[in-house]
Amino acid sequence: MRKGKVFLVGAGPGDIGLITVKGLEAIKQAEVLLYDRLANPKLLEYAPSECEFIYCGKLPDRHILRQENINELLVAKALEGKKVVRLKGGDPGVFGRVGEEAESLAQFQIPFEIVPGITSGIAAPLYAGIPVTHREYGESFAIVTAHAKSKDGEPLLEWESLARGVDTIAFYMGVGNLPLICENLIAHGKSSSTPAILIQWGTFGRQKTLQGTLADISEKALAAKFKNPSIILVGDVISLREKINWFEKKPLYGRQILLARTSNGLSELAKELMDYGADVIEFPKWKKTSVHIDLEKVTAYDKILFAQPESVAEFFEALIDNQIDIRNIRANFYGPSFKTIKALNDRGFTATLAEEMYGSGSLLIVGDNSVLKNTENYGVFDVIVTSIKEIDRQFMPIFKRMFGEAQVDTIIFPCSASVEPVLEALRECGIAIEEDVRDSHVVCMGKQTMAAVRGAGLMNPNMPAKATKAALIEYLAEQNGVELQ
């Protein structure tokens, strides 16, 4: 039997842009993917549609899968001849137990590669405006686990060496042992006035920081109910934060956005929102199945409305398959959103928003199997279904965990067709939008979307001045009290 291969991959600290090129390439070819709680679930969307996902998350008080079970799974899936990716938050070699997993694979002579990642002890401080070394403040740096295999879970460390011999120290997952850490560092030589900072969910838009000194940081953390996952950084280099804190100054920093999703591709809007500092959950995840498209009468229509951006590509591919010259089509083109308009523009065609489609003439609507929803305003029309779209339910448990760890404060509906399916999918996840996210800021892109949101019973929806990405980002920045440069 042919053995498979295992890639032990560091997912980076959270920001999906921080995964390595080699790590991303491994995900793209995975047949089985085992992932941790701290690996950003958005990375799973780069895996092939038929990839099997296995959650190996670990919480402070319980494990979904124990380490020995994970080792056994890696071996078993590889012995089935599969390409297996083990996706681990941060760097797999820094408190990631990659050595134990590699040993198990080596025991069965299973080929494997270890793909390093960016570790949170360096990345989280940098996103908080703190380099872990600096010629004036710190020329030595230590990475330390803040809990151990000791009976009481307290770290067994050489405290004097750390306190006297290291300028900057990053403690991993140590909020529960924070008083012990501070007491021991002070007792073994660190000044009680040494700066200390806690960084929770470092590099995510929901990153939070709490700053103090060894003398008071424990009391502050208790009062703020600060929790893991957090990095504890200790050292004089923290004083640079006031000068070079860059990430938390982004216009949408702190925003936790649910972006209603209508397509199965990665969203340019989501990327731009994240570039401006927001956390974005694109929901739900869709999958599509192609169908045969008959375009025999397509040249007879006066107007063609493309229901989704993907339907544009599917339509033009069908033209080639049916050997129809685009120059024979006399219709004007329309789209319900600027994303669809852009898909047409990219192919060299001008197009108009559907809400501006007036006058008489025969109409053809082109789109996936959801095309008949939200079309009551278009009068008489014909339909061509380009594909069958359905929710990818393998991702639903993943979204449930994402919602459990995020605190969504903004919901964006990019088009009217996104409203009903997203509300249904939220209910499937056990989330009643009227209750669980009732305090969220609801934003609609366009008048038709606003009408659909109100029709669904959502209260007080808002709308930017224009239904464009630029107007939306400017609107959200204003809500954050920030003026775009």
Beta strands of 56-140 (E only): which ranges? 58-59, 62-63, 83-88, 112-115
Pick the catalytic residue from 15, 173, 303, 450: 173
Strand, coil or helix: what is 288? strand
Rounded distance, CA 212 to CA 132, Å? 17
Pick the catalytic residue from 36, 91, 167, 368: 36
Rounded distance, CA 75 to CA 89, Å? 21
Neighbours of 478 (CB within 10 A): 13
Count Cα atoms within 13 angstroms, Cβ side, for 143: 13
- CA 408, distance to chain mean position in Å, is 13
Let me know if 5 is a catalytic residue.
no
Rounded distance, CA 472 to CA 144, Å? 43
Whether residue 412 contacts residue 472, with contact meaning beta carbons closer than 8 Å, is answered with: yes
Q: CA torsion 200→203→205→211, rounded to 10°?
A: 40
Amino acid at 47: A
Q: What is the CA radius of gyration of the chain?
A: 26
**Which tokens go with 387?**
């594909």
Greatest CA span in the chain, whole angstroms? 85
Let me know if 173 is a catalytic residue.
yes
Position of tokens 């004083």? Answer: 239
Let me know if 302 is a catalytic residue.
no
Pick the catalytic residue from 58, 271, 373, 466: 58
Beta strands of 392-474 (E only): which ranges? 410-413, 441-444
Residue positions annotated with a catalytic role:
36, 58, 173
